[in-house]
Amino acid sequence: MLRQTILATTAALALTGAAFAASHAETGNPMVGGAAMFADKTIVENALNSADHTTLVAAVKAAGLVETLSGDGPFTVFAPTNDAFAELQAGTVDDLLKPENKDQLVKVLTCHVVAANAMSDAIMGMIEDDGGMHDVETVGGCVLKASYDNGMLTLTDERGRDAHVTIADVKQSNGVIHVIDSVLLPGM
């Protein structure tokens, strides 16, 4: 009896998972951090579900940017993963999350946000139009250099550090997320 219940439950979960994957595939959005990303949810609502973006979500909360990034937008967010934050010098994230460093944290985070809905093909078109490199102005006042090689979109921050887009074009109700593998930092 227990074995039949386990088999029935496993079969039901498999069918539910397959139906969910099929319905999610219809949205055209990739999975991020093991979670479905829904085009009818905001950047913050989707980011909360990504296991790869818990540090980013904590930083957005500490910076008081939840309401802003839940707003109408449109926003393009270059979203560093937990691993990207872990690559920063030891103690950097902890220091940025301290209340007395809120202004600095806001500056770092807003250097990842553009006030537009910029899909990767549009960014690559701008790069081509500009001869191989395009300046991307962020809401934080940073200027990122966008380039691409073999279809890999790269952003270079004001310190000369590169971040590669690892998952592009994650549609949101208020913009788009591009997952990146490094934290972008403002100039010194």
pLDDT in tens, 49-79: 999 999 999 999 999 999 999 999 999 999 9
pTM, full prediction? 0.84
Percentage of the chain beyond pLDDT 70 is 86
**Spatial CA neighbour of 184 closest among 129, 150, 137:** 137
Half-sphere CA count of 55, side-chain side, radius 13 A: 19
Domains of the chain with bracketed CATH: 31-180 (2.30.180.10)
What's the DSSP call for residue 181? S
Q: What is the mean pLDDT of the chain?
A: 85
Write out the two tokens for 89.
């010098």
